[in-house]
Amino acid sequence: MRKNESNMKNRSLAGKLSNESYLNRVMFLVLITLFAIASMTIKNYFSTATALNLVANNWYIVILGVGVTFLLVSGHLDMSVGGIVAMAGVLSAYFCQPANEGFSELGQGLGMPYGVAILLTLLCCLVIGALNALFIAKMRVASIIVTLGTMSIARGIGQVAALGAQRSAGLPDIFGVIGNVPLFGPIKIAAAIAALLVIAALFIEKKTSFGRRTYLIGANREAARLSGVKVERHIALLYLLSSLLAGITGILLASEMKAGISTRGSGFEFSALVVTLLGGASIDGGVGSVLGMVIGAMILGVVSSAAYGMLLRPEWQFILKAIVTFLAIIAQRYLLDRRNK
């Protein structure tokens, strides 16, 4: 009997993994199809420069998507990442702006060395993650409610610190270095950082007990607990990771723009969620992958660049992205349901 149960469990796991691979292949085919359509309808779209720009312009969503993917697989949401991006950018500028050197209020900061400013900024981001962990993992409050609240807190801190504007005056030269170091073509070091984080995330997802526990919690929280997984601690770590990645994203974007902008990151939380869902993740948890999320980010990037290339007005670009997103998600659900019949 136990042997039969073990075999059934192994077949179920194999089925889940094969479904994941199947969805990745389907969404990769969608990506190629959309790119081909855009190439046929937009002059000079099919080029190496376009492919490189897709990477150069979407690295920030990929970094955010790593944290959001792990949380979604565990059955939780994080809508606070956009607010954390804004807060991190503003605080990284404020902490290293000169103190009392004749600038206006927006040009005066705490005068910290850049390295110290970055570490302190990331610590502030982890505080937001700790708040998420406290209310969601420990007090079992719905994740969407908590993270929408902490999104407002983080964005509010950024607004207050930047007086509703941006901090750019008096920043040290080193502030703009990490976000603008070129590697080749339009690819900068930020995209390389995103690639390294994706590789690390793939290793954690596929090769470590941490990744396996994440899937188990998303599939069946009570079963994970009975198996000895410290569920609350694991979820807390996932929220800390997501906040840390959002902080890194905010710092890199601020460095790229050489300014801490309080309105930056608006809507990023929804984009990160969309690319994760496009990659085949389930809102109910237990299903999803970092590789699928990256494919989803590239799909959204192709749609955005194609809409820009067609000279669509911004409001029509939003509608086009929404239509493609809906169609892609419906298609993957339909194909997966047919496959599992």
Predicted local confidence at residue 18, as pLDDT? 61
Q: Which residues of 50-82 are buried (b: 16+ CB within 10 A; e: fewer)?
A: beebbbbebbbbbbbbbbbbbbbbbbbbbbbbb
Predicted local confidence at residue 103, as pLDDT? 64
- pTM for the whole structure: 0.90
Predicted local confidence at residue 279, as pLDDT? 83
Instruction: Estimate the crossing angle of helix 2-41 against helix 314-339, to 10 degrees.
Output: 150
Predicted local confidence at residue 17, as pLDDT? 47
CA distance 304 to 22: 25
Predicted local confidence at residue 9, as pLDDT? 47
Q: Residue 336 in 3-state DSSP?
A: helix
Residue 267, amino acid:
G
pLDDT in tens, 230-283: 999 999 999 999 999 999 999 999 999 999 999 999 889 999 998 998 888 878
Q: Where are the domains of the chain?
A: 45-339
Predicted local confidence at residue 10, as pLDDT? 46
| Bridge partners of residue 167, in order along the sequence | 260
C-alpha closest to that of 292 among 281, 303, 301, 300: 281
pLDDT by 10s per residue, the chain, length 341: 444 444 444 444 444 446 777 788 888 888 899 899 989 988 888 888 888 888 889 999 999 999 999 999 999 999 999 999 999 999 999 999 988 765 677 888 888 999 999 999 999 999 999 999 999 999 999 999 999 999 999 999 999 999 888 998 889 999 999 989 888 888 999 999 999 999 999 999 999 999 999 999 998 999 999 889 999 999 999 999 999 999 999 999 999 999 999 999 988 999 999 899 888 887 888 888 999 999 999 999 998 888 888 877 777 777 877 887 788 778 777 776 777 66
Predicted local confidence at residue 101, as pLDDT? 64
CA distance 328 to 190: 28
